[in-house]
Amino acid sequence: MKNSYSVALAVLLAGYMAIHQVQGQSFVNPISDLADPFITYYNGYYYYTGTTGGNISMRRSTTLEGLKAAPLQVMFTPVGGQPTHFYWAPEMFRIDNKWYIYFSASLSTSTNDMRTWVLENTAPDPMAGTWVFKGRIYDASNDLWAIDGTVLNLSGTNYFIWSGVDYNANIDKPQRLYIARMSDPWTLVPGRTLLSSPTLPWENNGSVNEGPEVIKKNGKVFLLYSANGCWTPDYRLGMLSMNDNLDPMNAGNWYKHPNPVFQSNAPVAAYGPGHHFFFTSPDDSEDWFAYHATTNSSGACDASRTTRAQRITWNSDGTPNFGVPVETGTKQQAPAGEVALPVGSPIANGIYKIIVQSSNKPLDVAGCSVERGANVHQWEEGDVDCQKWHIQATNDGYYTITSLQGGMVLEVANCSNANAANVQMWAPNGADCQKWSFVAVGGGFYRIVSKQSGKALDIQFGGSNNGANLQQYDYLGNNQQHFRLDDLGTEEAMVPGVYRIISKQSQLAMDLAGCNTGNGTNIAQWTWLNNNCQRWSVEDTGDGYFMIRSLESGRVLDVPSCSTLPGANIQQWDAFSNDCQKFSIQPVSNGFYSIINKSSGLAVDVNGCSTSLGANIQQWTYWGGDCQLWKFERVGNPSARTAHRETNKETAMQRETTLSLNVFPNPTDDYIQISGYPGDHGVEAILYDALSREVARWNTTPNRQNKLDVSGAYPGIYLLRVKNRGTTTSHRVVIR
């Protein structure tokens, strides 16, 4: 066991190293406003494009967060004889040291005439040089309706994969996936192969297979596609796969997976996620994907769709794990290797309340809405995300102001220059009417000025009433135009030291279960007892990550066997400084942090979002819930070990039982089982939705093969409470 002297020395050294540390970056979804997103990272920049409807346009930024403020630049506008309508889903590839953009468009005003087209650019920078129209790319033996083309390179051969129809150029349903060889970047070898049709029970709402994209890993090719109509909440991702040494033109080499792999997450209002694209982190160590989703619970194929991004992890069988859509407005760790975000003056990047001087009330998103066009006004202060704002410097001396409630940004409606123009929430698009400067006016107050109009934020009529509207107006120097910024958590990097680590969800402390000092001991949550089993030394590893070491045992937090599976326990183990023992600790809001494992990319999480004593600490896909947020509070380092809290056998037995139950499979789409309950006793299991409403209840017998049917539940995150012999445990279940 490490003694107090060695712990203190390690903390001192870690503090020194922190001075030289390069901290990881963060970002907040949505990152932009376009549907059908494409992102690639090349030569120091993310390049981003998507559906505009009338041209090909692009943004670029050195960070994902920076895409919010990046202007959308037009790369190509049609001229005579070129397609003029419905510019959909552009994708850009570098082939033979040239850039190619593949997009869908029509020569008429009918979507029944959609075809796929190609642009070429020989410049090293795709936002420089000239994009040359190369014409249509199609299968000459099947010249039919076609959209959403993408490129697969396998064993030195390029293949084109798209969504098309079987025989009639004027009928665009059902949509199927096809593949053909490419003889050059704008020409297909005649003769296509059908890969997928919308035949599975969960992909028949609209008869659509579209948006094919490929990612290669672990000796396999994975082809992900969007199923169902984009106008439905059932829009979701399905998957085909094959070994990468086989011929992709042979349909028999592909296996179609029977269940969707990514779909709506109702508890966080993310509906119809799909039409994705894969990209890698700047240092090539991580796999990511961008996709669009809507907040419309009925589904939507309109401008309500926004671009979101999140990391892919990999299952033990080599298949990708996409998790569930992350809540918009929640900070995520940015892809590994990103450069630092811009730093502004006079305001530090961080999370603030914006208080009106004339009323002493905060700016508030009306109704706590997450929709585009939501109004902004002043309101009575409360501890709600719709009164909290991410303020982030851009690279031009201005700031974006983003609501924690949904991730929309503050803008002047219609980019107006007029006095009394309304100020509202909108999806980030890089426009100057979404950028703001802060000018000190004395007394700790600022005027907040639109880059677009040069006018100041202003509370209409200067009243103190709840609901007084936010607008822009010529600066008059009065208190209704002055704002105080109450700091709720600037971008303060984690500082090495000794902490107690408290769950936001339960207010319980991270705890070494049973004060056991052995390798493999689980980590749980428990009432703060002021002992070394609940004290943790946070130690900088010199690469932007930390190890978290128990003062009781001298061992560190560890993911067993470097598992990438959601639900894997967090344990303690001898320190080897491998990636399974390294964690990114990022500020999120109100002094809370996310803790993300470097190896798996998953978040340290309380099992089932439980508030119970002894609930297990695990890793899970990051979605920004309170059970994934932690407060680090500095504590002293006692010179003597505090006595163990286990004073009777019954309490110890109850804690052991609490940690032993297993709920599987998870995620699931049809049933769940519970194992690990002792003796001949059955259990009572109750399933609750995100609003704490009971969905189902079961009383199981001791037969371990009992299956609890959840096939009728809507996809999303649920809480399963299991009662056994007077003990209740909680488990989060993802139903796909």
Local structure of 66: helix, strand or coil: helix
210 an active-site residue?
Answer: yes
Q: Which one of 33, 36, 364, 491 is the catalytic residue?
A: 36
Q: Which of 550, 545, 455 is nearest to 512 (CA)?
A: 550
Measured distance CA(205)–CA(228) in Å, rounded: 5
Could you tell me if 382 and 367 are in contact, meaning their C-beta atoms sit under 8 angstroms apart? no
Could you tell me if 492 and 502 are in contact, meaning their C-beta atoms sit under 8 angstroms apart? no
Q: What is the DSSP string of 345-357?
A: SSS-SEEEEEEET
Structure tokens at 369: 């809405």
244 an active-site residue?
Answer: no
Half-sphere CA count of 305, side-chain side, radius 13 A? 28
Structure tokens at 404: 């924690």
Measured distance CA(104)–CA(84) in Å, rounded: 11
**Separate counts of helices (H) and strands (E) for the chain:** 2, 54
Measured distance CA(512)–CA(1) in Å, rounded: 14
- Please state, as a whole number, how many other Cβ atoms lie within 10 Å of the Cβ of residue 658: 22
Residue 34's φ and ψ, nearest 5 degrees, are: -95, 150
Q: Which one of 139, 148, 203, 210 is the catalytic residue?
A: 210
Measured distance CA(213)–CA(277) in Å, rounded: 6
Structure tokens at 426: 């909108």
Q: Identify whether 566 is preceded by a cis peptide bond (ω within 30 of 0).
A: no
Measured distance CA(485)–CA(481) in Å, rounded: 13
Q: Which residues pair with 237 in a beta bridge?
A: 226, 262
H-only helix segments in 177-313: none
Measured distance CA(274)–CA(564) in Å, rounded: 23
Measured distance CA(382)–CA(4) in Å, rounded: 43
Length of the chain: 736
Measured distance CA(161)–CA(211) in Å, rounded: 9
Alpha carbon 214 to its chain centroid, in Å, reads: 20
Structure tokens at 609: 């979002």
Q: What is the DSSP string of 207-227?
A: S-EEEEEEEEETTEEEEEEEE
Structure tokens at 726: 């007077």
Active-site residue set: 36, 210
